[in-house]
């Protein structure tokens, strides 16, 4: 017997565009929404979209990671449930545990599932037990000399290049590719340090490097009644520093291979006794050989492309599952129609290794029109600080064919104007014109293979010209008597 857990108010333990996106589905269900924020984030857009908001500390970042303060905010406002979004505490098993102990509903998997699948080593064992292929790898490496010796032995067996990976976490942190003995030994130390700083866990392991794979993921939903469904595939191969920039759905695989990978994803999550929304990730070689990579136990940034091609609101389903309801559709009712592309428009300088570009948004004009979806949390006059993630808006477009989706994305990008910070828009304008992208020839070496995409001087000159014109107009308005 499944317990029904009725709640009328939810606290969103996140910020920015994902907080706004979660709030929209919650409000459509008639739920009241509580936002939290740090003092350094007091002008954030997600605060304006909530029914009420609570400042949980001075910040930056540390209070968004403070479980006790978030639980207290929920109790003080009468929220009965908490949605973690992604990032911050979303994959910390201590968070759902604390919610349960406080009598709050956690919108996501139970702590033991997050704990097991949050360890890439344990997740690999679960996948292997279901017959799903995994990439050759070590176990957790011991610190110091024993770990170095094990790493060198693995390299001698499998050869370079090799991937060093953090056992916990995600988002590309603690991951690096190494090509020789010296870089392996140096990389072990650096990955440990980065993993400890990012996840509070310095455990690492090694994985054989798969050459030029496609990064494919399967969106799944699982409820308390034993129902598990998949919502098809995504291709997330275009990445910088192991972090995704462009995502598309479906992944563009042959139908038989798509079916195999989706079946494999379902076996893994069933074996893990999964609940809520999650993503199973794979690496797929050119010949169709595929390997299990990991399970993300949360909502993904790129969930929008799946929603666009299936018409299914993944966040709404998360809420209903948390209430003790079954998934509201069957596997037979899921159909991917057309193609969707999502671009992460970041306040970053692609020409400077995608370094963050904080500043004030002097002009913000977004795109619109048929087949265009925006998930953002900025506005004209908003100050982008260096304290938080550099993503400022997600642009998702739909097309009945792949070429229509590409053409629509090109049009949508041309409709954007952001002045005040550098963004990834001009870089994306190059990508959507590039022949391999138009042919949907996408793998993880895409950015390295196309260095010419950094040549977008023409777009930069146009933006600089507009910025100068706006500055002149603003100066004149301040002193209209100046000739």
User: Which residues are CB-neighbours of 286 under 8 A, at least 6 positions away?
Assistant: 212, 443
Choose, from 234, 298, 344, 408, the residue flagged as catalytic.
Answer: 298
- d(CA 58, CA 71) in angstroms, rounded, equals 17
Residue with tokens 């037990």: 129
Asked if 298 is an active-site residue, the reply is: yes
- d(CA 107, CA 316) in angstroms, rounded, equals 11
What is the Cα gyration radius of the chain?
A: 23
Name the 3-class secondary structure at 65.
Answer: coil
Token pair recorded at residue 5: 């857990």
- d(CA 98, CA 84) in angstroms, rounded, equals 13
- d(CA 94, CA 84) in angstroms, rounded, equals 12
Dihedral sign, Cα of residue 443, residue 445, residue 447, residue 450: negative
Strand residues in 288-338 grouped as ranges (E): 290-296
- d(CA 194, CA 202) in angstroms, rounded, equals 8
Report the first-to-last Cα separation within the chain, whole angstroms: 78
Residue 351 is classified by DSSP as G
- Strands 348-349, 372-376: pairing is unpaired
Which strands make up the sheet holding 204-208, listed edge to edge? 176-178, 162-166, 204-208
- C-beta separation of 212 from 444 below 8 A: yes
Token pair recorded at residue 100: 């349960």
Residue with tokens 């091609």: 309
- d(CA 359, CA 419) in angstroms, rounded, equals 10
- d(CA 234, CA 220) in angstroms, rounded, equals 12
Nearest to 159 by CA among 178, 172, 175, 186: 178
- d(CA 157, CA 384) in angstroms, rounded, equals 47
Q: 135 pairs with which residues across the strands?
A: none
- Cis previous bond, 60, omega within 30: yes
Name the 3-class secondary structure at 414.
Answer: helix
Q: Rounded to 5 degrees, what are φ and ψ at 389?
A: -55, 145
Active site residues: 298
């Amino acid at each position: 017997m499944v317990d029904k857990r009725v709640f009328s108010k939810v606290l969103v333990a996140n910020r920015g565009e994902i907080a706004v996106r979660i709030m929209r589905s919650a409000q459509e269900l008639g739920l009241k929404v509580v936002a939290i924020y740090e003092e350094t984030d007091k002008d954030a857009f997600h605060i304006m979209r909530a029914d009420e908001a609570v400042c949980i500390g001075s910040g930056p970042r540390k209070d968004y990671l403070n479980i006790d303060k978030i639980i207290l905010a929920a109790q003080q406002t009468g929220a009965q449930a908490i949605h973690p979004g992604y990032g911050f505490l979303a994959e910390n098993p201590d968070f759902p545990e604390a919610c349960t102990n406080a009598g709050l509903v956690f919108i996501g998997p139970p702590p033991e599932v997050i704990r097991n699948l949050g360890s890439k080593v344990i997740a690999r064992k679960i996948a292997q037990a279901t017959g799903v292929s995994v990439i050759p790898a070590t176990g957790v490496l011991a610190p110091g000399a024993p770990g170095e010796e094990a790493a060198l032995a693995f390299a001698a067996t499998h050869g370079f290049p090799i991937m060093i990976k953090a056992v916990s976490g995600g988002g590309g942190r603690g991951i690096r590719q190494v090509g020789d003995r010296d870089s392996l030994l140096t990389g072990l130390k650096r990955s440990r340090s980065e993993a400890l700083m990012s996840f509070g866990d310095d455990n690492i392991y090694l994985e054989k490097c798969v050459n030029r794979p496609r990064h494919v993921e399967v969106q799944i939903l699982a409820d308390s009644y034993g129902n598990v469904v998949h919502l098809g595939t995504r291709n997330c191969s275009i990445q910088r520093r192991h972090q995704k920039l462009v995502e598309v759905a479906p992944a563009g695989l042959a139908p038989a291979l798509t079916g195999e990978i989706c079946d494999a994803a379902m076996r893994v999550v069933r074996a893990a006794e999964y609940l809520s929304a999650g993503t199973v990730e794979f690496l797929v070689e050119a010949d169709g050989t595929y390997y299990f990579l990991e399970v993300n136990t949360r909502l993904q940034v790129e969930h929008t492309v799946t929603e666009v091609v299936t018409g299914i609101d993944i966040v709404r389903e998360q809420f209903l599952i948390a209430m003790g309801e079954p998934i509201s559709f069957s596997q037979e009712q899921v159909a991917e129609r057309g193609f969707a592309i999502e671009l992460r428009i970041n306040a970053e300088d692609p020409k400077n290794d995608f370094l963050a570009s904080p500043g004030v948004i002097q002009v913000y004009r977004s795109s619109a029109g048929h087949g265009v979806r925006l998930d953002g949390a900025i506005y004209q006059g908003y100050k982008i600080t260096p304290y938080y993630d550099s993503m400022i808006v997600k642009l998702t477009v739909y097309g009945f064919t792949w070429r229509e989706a590409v053409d629509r994305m090109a049009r949508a990008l041309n409709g954007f104007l952001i002045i005040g910070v550098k963004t990834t828009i001009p870089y994306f304008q190059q990508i959507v014109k590039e022949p391999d992208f138009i042919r949907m020839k996408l793998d993880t070496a895409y950015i390295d293979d196309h260095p010419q995409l950094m040549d977008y001087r023409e777009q930069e000159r146009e933006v600089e010209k507009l910025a100068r014109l706006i500055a002149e107009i603003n100066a004149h308005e301040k002193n209209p008597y100046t000739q």
